[in-house]
Amino acid sequence: MDRERVAAWVAAYERAWRTPGTEPLHELFTADAAYRTAPFEEPFRGLDVIAAMWEAGRTSPDEEFELDFEVVACERERAVVRLDVRYGDPTPRVYRDLWVLEFDEDGRCASFEEWPFWPRGSAGTYESGPT
């Protein structure tokens, strides 16, 4: 993997999140992928389990959000990506995530580990003014 391929993978992930259903996940993840939503959580294992988690975790494929990202590091099959995600109505919230990714030789993700962060005191809900 190189930075350009990782960036393309993240862009495809965002498109898949905005697409109804879970069919695009087959192109993003290996059949036996491990998807960890936080560093110390047990991973969701296997494409069917990941797809069920994916559908349960989003409001709908047309939910309002903006995503900006930067590939921070990439070496062989591993990459680290920093993301800023801003959700709109009905509950505005903001996150900064780090993704630690491992890819197979076909460029599909075999291991996804998310490190989610949000502004102090907000638990992801956007609050204007100092916290």
Domain locations in the chain as residue ranges: 3-117
Q: Is the whole-model pTM more than 0.85?
A: yes
Alpha helices in the chain (DSSP H): 3-17, 25-28, 47-57
> Options 3.10.450.50, 3.40.50.620, 3.40.50.1000, 3.40.605.10; which CATH number does 3-117 get?
3.10.450.50
CA–CA distance, 13 with 25 (Å, rounded to integer): 8
Question: For residue 39, is the peptide bond before it cis, meaning its omega torsion is within 30 degrees of 0?
Answer: no
Q: What is the pLDDT of residues 65-112, one digit of tens each?
A: 899 999 999 999 999 999 999 887 767 788 899 999 999 999 999 999
The pair of three-digit structure tokens given for residue 102, joined into one six-digit string: 């491992």
Q: What is the pLDDT of residues 2-29, one digit of tens each?
A: 999 999 999 999 999 989 999 999 999 9
Phi/psi of residue 75, nearest 5 degrees? -145, 120
